[in-house]
């Protein structure tokens, strides 16, 4: 999500595989035994999986190489490997070295960014090896049950279930390297190392399931051995294996084999919809594989597979992406920018060029810029592109000051969250393209693809590439936007004509920061025309003189959101997130029984117990004083309460209500299938919101679980229902959207 956007998009589960080498410190070792550094250079894994019993039987042979390799034989190394604690090692053999000891310990626990930590699933096995040859091999024979509570990580409004890491079951198979389904070399996550290894995987076929791995499928070897065989085209930072009871569609796109693995519903209508939607996904993937290579370089692999998953996910891996079934069911609505295109682009960045684990995660920023934002530019959709730039500024502006950490620390322990990594990152690359020129920007990206695929890259790598192509130093740019936290907060204190009437003196401030900025300014003239300028601001406040060919009425500051900046509360478009973020929430319910769909919305807006002060009132008992004390969520028929009429008028709510429905401007929505989600600024609280959710019938509320994905100020839905296998299924489509913007402006002094 990715996926990444509404998907926050995701570069796979990047697992930094490390091998610590040190003197073991055992007093029984002779003084002449020297510590030797080694690293894992290849993994040869063979597994047999049984979904019915959750069983895995595996054998992994890991090749270790001395560093430097040409040293004479001998010496001692202490190496550590992590393996899922549910898997037991039956036999452990060492070739090219003597296994002195084998002990176990709990893994180090270092949280990374805002994702859950799966280290609790692991056991670390510490091995002391004596008399090492230039290369030695460790063979692990292991087995056990891998099963997780899938629902434990499923949360409404979240598109990734990060708790899943190692599961084998009838519903599907998901084996991520972080879950330890094979023994991987381990190092303290607080001291990461940029290491890659070659992988070879052999898996016994699983009856009724199709398996996909994050490596190249070897069809010839699979036919010869009657097993499934994969090998890595490039060195990898980990290996994933997934599977499900899937049908397969496939086609060829130039040199690339494109496939889609999906389940077929039993209901005829759902089956027909799924067949249509999978065709749309294949076409979209084929279009992306044609659209992007001329811009960013050749796709690094020969295969791209879309695999339906059995839990919430938008994960990217080498050669495939794993998408939740719900996305395939959504069809065209799930093919907006930031979904499939985001995950595919991770084939270039994150799964093609790897993120150097000693620095921050840059690939989410570059992927979000290219897919979530620049996709609209390539479409020629100026409004969509502008909305994305605005939404990026809005996301970062909602952060608390202590959360506004440097972009360069994203995914590092103690680093910033996803709003910085994705949204700020998108804007940083947008501003960088403006700094060196869009053509130079994409030329630098193509050089990165050519030079670093199959290797690690960090922010310094990117800076060097953009400097070389742009022909100018970028130290100051990368320092202020990548290595320093915080954002400028632009304001327009004044705009007045000079004494001679030929120029307009515009004063711009950026709060307490002194960023070096290129600030767009738009002058609106009395005759209805306008003119755009770009001015340089490198201090907290400055005044610039602009040509004044005719009388001017007002000045707008960065009206199209080209600068990453912190917006004031009144500039932030109100949305459901505005109301949910409040630490004090009033919920106004209709009198009488409350629909289960409304109750679901109450739970989502209330958040975790104790996370905020929540007060619930019915429409008949709420007071004006209570309405003025915090953000407000108004549900259903409560909007028609006389007690709320004056409050909603002060909040400038644009909706009009009738006994059978609602209206917006000249449009009337009085059919049973219509519902509306609308958020406006709170009239008494600058950063507060007033959110209304109301449906004309119970069925119209059927997809209330999706409200958290919408960033719009106002969305009108039409929802229909039908029976599928004895249960009610709801399908919803958006029929109208609106955003309520208040851009920073100043009237020209006369």
Domain region containing 656:
576-738
552 and 446 in a common domain = no
Global pTM value: 0.91
Specify the range with the lowest mean pLDDT, choosing from 82-91, 296-305, 324-333, 381-390.
324-333
> Quick check: helix, strand or coil at residue 413?
coil
> Quick check: helix, strand or coil at residue 475?
helix
Residue count of the chain, please give it.
750
543 and 455 in a common domain = no
Beta strands (DSSP E) in 367-516 are 456-457, 491-497, 503-509
pLDDT at 70: 62
For residues 679 and 669, give the distance between their C-alpha atoms in angstroms, rounded to a whole number.
18
Q: Report the pLDDT averaged over residues 26-41.
A: 65
pLDDT at 22: 34
Tokens of 130: 């004596």
Count of alpha carbons within 13 angstroms of residue 418, beta-carbon side = 18
468 and 435 in a common domain = yes
Query: Does the pLDDT of residue 30 top 70, yes or no?
Result: no
* End residue of a domain, out of 153, 179, 195: 195
CA-nearest of 662, 682, 686, 685 to 672 is 662
596 and 704 in a common domain = yes
382 and 465 in a common domain = yes
* End residue of a domain, out of 195, 227, 242: 195
521 and 617 in a common domain = no
> Are the CB atoms for 279 and 258 separated by under 8 Å?
no
- Residue 675 counted as domain residue: yes
The domain total for the chain is 4
For residues 594 and 577, give the distance between their C-alpha atoms in angstroms, rounded to a whole number.
23
pLDDT at 121: 93
- Residue 475 counted as domain residue: yes
pLDDT at 115: 56
Strands 727-738 and 714-724: antiparallel
Query: Does the pLDDT of residue 469 top 80, yes or no?
Result: yes
190 and 63 in a common domain = yes
* End residue of a domain, out of 460, 483, 506: 483
Give the pLDDT band of residue 157 (cuts 50, 70, 90). low
Q: Report the pLDDT averaged over residues 399-411.
A: 95
- Residue 274 counted as domain residue: no
pLDDT at 609: 87
583 and 681 in a common domain = yes
> Are the CB atoms for 236 and 215 separated by under 8 Å?
yes
- Residue 710 counted as domain residue: yes
Calculate the average pLDDT of the chain.
91
pLDDT at 2: 37
472 and 499 in a common domain = no
């Amino acid at each position: 999500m990715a996926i990444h956007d509404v998907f926050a998009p995701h570069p796979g589960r990047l697992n930094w595989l490390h091998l610590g080498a040190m003197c073991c410190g055992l007093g029984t070792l002779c003084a002449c035994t020297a510590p030797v550094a080694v690293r894992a250079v290849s993994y040869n894994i063979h597994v047999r999986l049984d979904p019915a019993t959750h069983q895995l039987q595996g054998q992994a042979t890991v090749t270790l190489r001395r560093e430097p390799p040409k040293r004479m034989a001998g010496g001692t190394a202490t190496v550590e490997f992590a393996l899922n604690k549910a898997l037991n090692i039956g036999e452990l053999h060492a070739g090219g070295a003597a296994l002195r000891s084998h002990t176990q310990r709990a893994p180090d626990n270092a949280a990374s960014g805002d994702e859950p930590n799966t280290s609790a699933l692991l056991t670390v096995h510490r091995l002391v090896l004596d008399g090492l040859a230039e290369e030695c091999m460790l063979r692990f024979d292991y087995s056990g049950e891998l099963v997780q509570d899938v629902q434990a990580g499923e949360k409404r409004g979240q598109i990734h279930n990060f708790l899943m890491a190692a599961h084998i079951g009838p519903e599907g198979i998901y084996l991520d390297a972080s879950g330890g389904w094979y023994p991987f070399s381990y190092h303290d996550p607080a001291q990461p190392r940029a290491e890659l290894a070659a992988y070879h995987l052999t898996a016994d076929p699983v009856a009724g399931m199709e398996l996909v791995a994050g490596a190249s499928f070897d069809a010839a070897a699979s036919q010869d051995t009657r097993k499934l065989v994969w090998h890595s085209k490039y060195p990898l930072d980990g290996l994933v294996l997934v599977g499900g009871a899937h049908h397969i569609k496939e086609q060829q796109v130039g040199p690339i084999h494109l496939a889609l693995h999906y389940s077929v519903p039993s209901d005829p209508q759902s089956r027909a919809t799924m067949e249509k939607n999978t065709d749309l996904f294949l076409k979209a993937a084929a279009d992306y594989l044609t659209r992007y290579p001329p811009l960013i370089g050749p796709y690094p692999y020969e295969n791209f597979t879309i695999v339906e998953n059995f839990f919430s996910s938008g994960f990217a891996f080498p050669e495939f992406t794993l998408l939740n079934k719900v996305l395939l069911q959504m069809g065209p609505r799930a093919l907006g920018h930031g979904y499939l295109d985001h995950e595919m682009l991770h084939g270039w960045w994150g799964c093609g060029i790897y993120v150097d684990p000693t620095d921050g995660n840059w690939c989410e920023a570059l992927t979000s810029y290219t897919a979530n934002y620049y996709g609209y530019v390539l479409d020629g959709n100026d409004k969509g592109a502008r909305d994305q730039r605005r939404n990026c500024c809005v996301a970062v502006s909602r952060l608390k000051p202590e959360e506004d950490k440097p972009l360069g620390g994203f995914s590092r322990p103690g680093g910033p969250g996803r709003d910085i990594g994705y949204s700020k990152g998108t804007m940083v690359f947008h501003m960088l393209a403006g700094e060196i020129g869009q053509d130079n920007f994409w030329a630098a990206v193509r050089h990165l693809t050519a030079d670093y695929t199959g290797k690690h890259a960090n922010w310094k790598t990117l800076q060097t590439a953009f400097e070389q192509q742009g022909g100018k130093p970028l130290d100051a740019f990368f320092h202020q936007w990548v290595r320093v936290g915080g954002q400028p907060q632009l304001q327009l204190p004044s705009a007045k004509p000079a004494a001679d009437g030929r120029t307009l003196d515009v004063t711009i401030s950026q709060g307490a920061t002194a960023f070096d900025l290129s600030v767009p300014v738009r002058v609106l003239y009395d005759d209805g025309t306008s003119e755009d300028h770009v001015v340089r601001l490198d201090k907290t406040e400055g005044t610039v003189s602009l040509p004044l060919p005719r009388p001017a009425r007002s000045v707008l500051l960065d009206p199209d959101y080209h600068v990453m900046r912190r917006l004031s509360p009144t500039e932030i478009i109100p949305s459901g997130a505005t109301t949910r973020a409040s630490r004090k929430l009033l919920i106004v319910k209709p009198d009488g029984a409350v629909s289960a769909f409304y109750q679901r919305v109450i739970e989502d807006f209330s958040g975790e117990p104790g996370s905020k002060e929540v007060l619930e009132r019915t429409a008949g008992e709420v007071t004006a004083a209570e309405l003025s004390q915090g953000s407000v969520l108004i549900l259903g028929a409560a909007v028609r309460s006389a007690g709320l009429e004056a409050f909603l008028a002060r909040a400038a709510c644009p909706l009009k209500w009738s006994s059978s429905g609602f209206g917006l401007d000249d449009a009337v929505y009085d059919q049973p299938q219509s519902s509306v989600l609308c958020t406006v600024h709170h009239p008494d609280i600058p950063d507060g919101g007033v959110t209304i959710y109301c449906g004309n019938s119970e069925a119209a509320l059927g997809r209330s679980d999706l409200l958290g994905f919408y960033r719009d100020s106002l969305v009108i839905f039409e929802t229909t229902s039908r029976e599928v296998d004895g249960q009610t299924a709801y399908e919803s489509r958006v029929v109208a959207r609106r955003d309520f913007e208040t851009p920073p402006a100043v009237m020209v002094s006369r």
